[in-house]
Amino acid sequence: MLAPARRPSGGPARRDFLLGLSAGGVYFALTLYWVVGVMSAFGGLPAFVSILVALLLASYLAIYPALFAVALGASLRRFGPAALWLAPWFWVATEWARSTVWGGVPWVLLGSSQAPVLPVVQFASVAGVYGLSALVALVSTAAAQLAVSRRQADRLAVAGVALVLVVVVAAGTFRVVGSRLTRTGPVLRAGLVQGGIEQEVKWDPARRDIILERHLNLSRQVIGRGAGLVIWPESSTPFFFDAEPQLAEPVRRLAAEAGTPFIIGTDEFEPGQNGAPARLYNTALLVGADGRSRATYRKMQLVPFGEFVPLKDLLFFVGPLVEAVSDFSAGVEPVVFDVDGQRLSVAICYESVFPALAQAFVERGSQLLLTITNDAWFGRSSAAYQHFNQGALRAVEQGRYVVRAANTGISGVVDPYGRVLARTPLFEQTVLAVDVRLLNGRTIYSQLGDVVVWVSLAAVAWVAVVTARTKR
């Protein structure tokens, strides 16, 4: 008598992985479609190689939804339909892993979709963007349970989720209507300079004087509107500010004449000593009201394929990109600037999507979160809007105003409740002068951090242990 055929080992898990990989691949390919244009236009890659790089990036990011599918599938087979309620925790765990491994790519996390939904986004002041991701996943889980389960317990749980959502929306609405934080703290008039410099000419030596003069003229405009702090975008000086004093002199002179401090985005060159190689940093520089350099912050979270090329040896086919990308070094300290007793911090470009960095700034006493960026790389794609919305979440999480100066837009100001007080169009030369408040209070999330992440990781560990014991 023949024994019944055994199902191939790992069959269901393999199927779950491929389904999750497919779903994730489609999501990231459509969300990050603009990578193709960036690689082709500024990375020097042929169109087909740019498409290949974008697909490789989407495939890598899709691994995390695939791991989510594997974990959830294993739980459903072990515990039955009730295990569907583990989905939000598994999802957050894989999002956190995506945001951490190899420096992390926390772009378009599920929770960031709620940035424009003011009543819901207030939940970020309690649980951060990962808490928002868990909330969105929980609502989706409830809808799935309603569709597949007839158990009374699951129906009651769905009703409980609906009640949670009502409470979150009601509490969020009450928080926005109250707006207590917008009535406390000293006022600072922030002046944002948007030079509108195309990426193709940004480092052209023949355009250097024109670019500098444009930023100086716009600075005079915003000072005339009463700005107490002038903020230039990322890498706004087409020279090394501290290393080329003759070119920096007009900026220092304007700051001293106006008695107004400047924050300048510039590249910083550090010569090697004792045989060590020279280093290049993407830097935010504080120029005091006397025109002197007061402090610098060096960007800590570098952009993959923008400021360094990971796995150069494996990605041999992106040679032109390696040559086009400057090999920056990462800073190591979340410096907070002191401007005559006002405590300010600066996130540079990509750093604005990292919640932990904003929290580190606030822990060190930052009263105002600044972002300087150059989104010219993105062209007129959805990337600039994605970037702006993700950065806006830091305002709600930390209970701070976020002030954003972008080379080609979107520049703007977001209050501690996620409301956009002002914003500029893309690819315009313009300025903004907006009153913001310097705040000292701490939100629940700012004090406790990513508790939702730790609960999610604990849930994953618990399921892994129970499943392993069952197999033994």
The encoded tokens of residue 271 equal 């010569």
Question: In sequence order, what E strands does 299-400 have?
Answer: 336-339, 342-348, 368-373
The single-letter DSSP state of residue 367 is: S
Q: Are 374 and 406 in contact (CB under 8 A)?
A: yes
> ∠14-28-330 over CA atoms, to 5°?
105
Q: How far apart are CA 387 and CA 195, in angstroms?
A: 18
Beta-bridged to residue 403, according to DSSP, are: 370, 413
Please give the Cα distance from 332 to 306 (Å, whole number): 19
Which DSSP category does 99 fall into? T
Provide the b/e sequence for 97-125 (b: ≥16 CB within 10 Å): bbbeeeebbbbbbbbbbbbeebbbbbbbb
Q: Is 257 exposed, middle or buried (0-12, 13-18, 19+ CB in 10 A)?
A: exposed
Known catalytic residues are 234, 299, 349
Residues 18, 30: Cα–Cα separation, whole Å? 18
The rounded distance, in Å, linking the Cα atoms of 404 and 373 is 8
Q: What number of residues does the chain have?
A: 472
